[in-house]
């Protein structure tokens, strides 16, 4: 069975733990980074199949990190889902316009997280004949 890996870049330990438990329950392996700089280094080294990205990161924020991903031909194909507490009117559209593939607001809803991860996970697209 293929290992399903997701990278979650999030500075809050409790948020990482919650998402880890949810995704592990469905067979995913969650790799974790606590800030944008270490997240970008992990992305460049590991080229994960899917990234969950908090926008409000210390130092390099999520949108700056996203710009680095989308500017790199070796990384720009990786789906990125914004997973953020930024839930004001227009935030979803702003993050999608910046290059995110999808958006989930916190607090995380288990069903929504699982559905969006499954929908954007690359091997699931091939299996369904999508993308």
Are 99 and 58 spatial neighbours (Cβ–Cβ below 8 Å)?
Answer: no
In words, the CATH class of domain 4-128 is alpha beta
In degrees, rounded to 5, the angle at the alpha carbon of residue 25 between the alpha carbons of residues 109 and 63 is: 50
- Rg, Å, the chain Cα set: 14
Helix (H) or strand (E) holding 126: helix 122-128
pLDDT tens-digit readout, 74-93: 999 999 999 988 777 888 99
Kindly state the tokens that stand for 79.
């789906």
Q: What residues does each domain of the chain span?
A: 4-128
Q: Which of 57, 11, 65 is nearest to 33 (CA)?
A: 11
- What pTM was estimated for this model as a whole? 0.92
Confidence at residue 125, expressed as pLDDT on a 0 to 100 scale: 54
């Amino acid at each position: 069975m293929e290992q399903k890996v997701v990278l979650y870049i999030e500075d809050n330990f409790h948020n990482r733990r919650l998402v880890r438990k949810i995704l592990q329950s469905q067979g995913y392996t969650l790799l974790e980074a606590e800030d944008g700089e270490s997240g970008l280094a992990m992305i460049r080294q590991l080229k994960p199949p899917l990234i969950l990205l908090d926008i409000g990161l210390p130092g390099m924020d999520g949108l700056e990190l996203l710009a680095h991903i989308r500017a790199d031909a070796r990384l720009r194909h990786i789906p990125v889902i914004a997973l953020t507490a930024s839930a004001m009117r227009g935030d979803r559209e702003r993050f999608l316009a910046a290059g995110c593939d999808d958006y989930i607001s916190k607090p995380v809803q288990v069903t929504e997280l699982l559905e969006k991860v499954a929908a954007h996970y690359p091997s699931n697209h091939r299996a369904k004949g999508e993308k």
